[in-house]
Amino acid sequence: MSAETGTSWRFSSRRLAVTMMVASWPSSSVLAPSWATAGAALRLAALIVVAIGGAAAASGFALIPLWLSPPAGSHAYAACVLALSLFAALHAGLAAVGAMLVAAQCRAGFVSASKAGALRILRLWCRFVGAAGTVVLIATYLPPWLAPA
């Protein structure tokens, strides 16, 4: 049951908003493999898209305990949802900050084909955040679906 409305897990505008924000992260992290071979302008554009997607995903994960779960003190499930969603929000936010940092380095000319260490690290971080976010969403939404009505 939802904390605010007293209804069961039905479709709502809040769920749609959170789902769209969280779903923006995998779509932006798809650009990660093309960074090392892309030209400077395309690389900068891809990094900006990843930064925006990471910020949107961080916002979406942070809104899950506020909008979609009961208060954290009411049940162990709610406390786990709070901890998992804040974990995912923190890591997606760090990926967004990392993408902005690497975009600034690319714009200043500090990233080239021979000096692409920051791009490789960011690419690995984005893949980790995508996998961790998937696990968090499964752990958050699977128990209510499996619970007897």
Question: Whole-angstrom Cα distance, residue 116 to residue 10?
Answer: 46
Give per-residue pLDDT as tens, 70-90. 777 778 888 888 899 999 999
Q: Kindly compute the dihedral angle of the four CA atoms of residues 33, 37, 41, 43, in this order, to the nearest 10 degrees.
A: 30
Distance of CA 59 to the CA centre of its chain: 8
**Complete domains list, the chain, with CATH:** 13-146 (1.20.120)
Give per-residue pLDDT as tens, 4-31. 444 444 446 666 666 666 666 665 555 5
Tokens, residue 67? 């909008």
User: Shortest CA distance to 23 belongs to which of 88, 103, 70, 67?
Assistant: 88
Percent of the chain with pLDDT over 70: 72
Question: Whole-angstrom Cα distance, residue 133 to residue 38?
Answer: 26
Give per-residue pLDDT as tens, 60-69. 888 888 877 7
